[in-house]
Amino acid sequence: MKKSAKTAFTSQPEQTRPYWSPYLAGLGLGLTLLLSFVIMGRGLGASGGFTALVSAGVGLLAPEHADSNGLFSAYIHNDQGGPLLDWLVFLVGGVLVGGFVSGRLAGRMNGMVEKGPRVTTAKRLMFAFVGGTFMGFAAKLARGCTSGQALTGGSLLSLGSWVFMLSVFAGGYAFAYFLRRQWT
């Protein structure tokens, strides 16, 4: 039996639960951010967790370099007892585990790569890797990832965070015009 173009490129199985209301999800995210400020004394941001993991790796493989580098040294010699005990490492781990658990419970777990009919799986994965690399590099330049900039910086009414997020959306719309044909 031949698959239609619509079913060949969808990642959702036939029996899935509906998505949450965006208003309910937004309320939950806002309460999570508020609890982060109240309990931990600072906001959310995933790039700090990844930086802690990289710092631990560099400290293990090249301890002299890690000690002489200000970024790595700050994570290795922190007051939590080391980079792997930073609470943001557990936050990133919880996001990964929570994403898999929620995908499984909603019936949305499968091994497909979402892509348009005009792009190969290898090209789609290459685009994702290159885009993720650019995003990680930009997060260090901006001194925070999109979650840190949008959620934490936006809630603190930081002008730089608002400019950053408006630029992210403007850039997304600008590039969508050129990349749209990959999905249709």
Map out the domains of the chain as residue ranges.
10-112, 115-184
Q: What is the pLDDT of residues 69-113, one digit of tens each?
A: 888 888 887 776 777 777 888 888 898 999 899 888 888 887 788
Q: Are 165 and 147 contacting, i.e. CB atoms less than 8 angstroms apart?
A: no
Instruction: Give 126-149 pLDDT, tens digit per residue.
Output: 989 998 888 888 887 777 777 788
Alpha helices in the chain (DSSP H): 5-8, 22-35, 47-61, 63-68, 70-76, 87-105, 121-141, 146-147, 154-155, 159-179
Does pLDDT of 8 surpass 60?
A: no
Q: What is the pLDDT of residue 15?
A: 65
Residue type, 180: R
Is-above-0.85 flag for pTM? no
- Decide if 154 contacts 37 (C-beta within 8 A): no
3-state SS, residue 155: helix
The separation between the first and the last C-alpha atoms of the chain, rounded to the nearest angstrom, is 23
pLDDT value of residue 77: 79
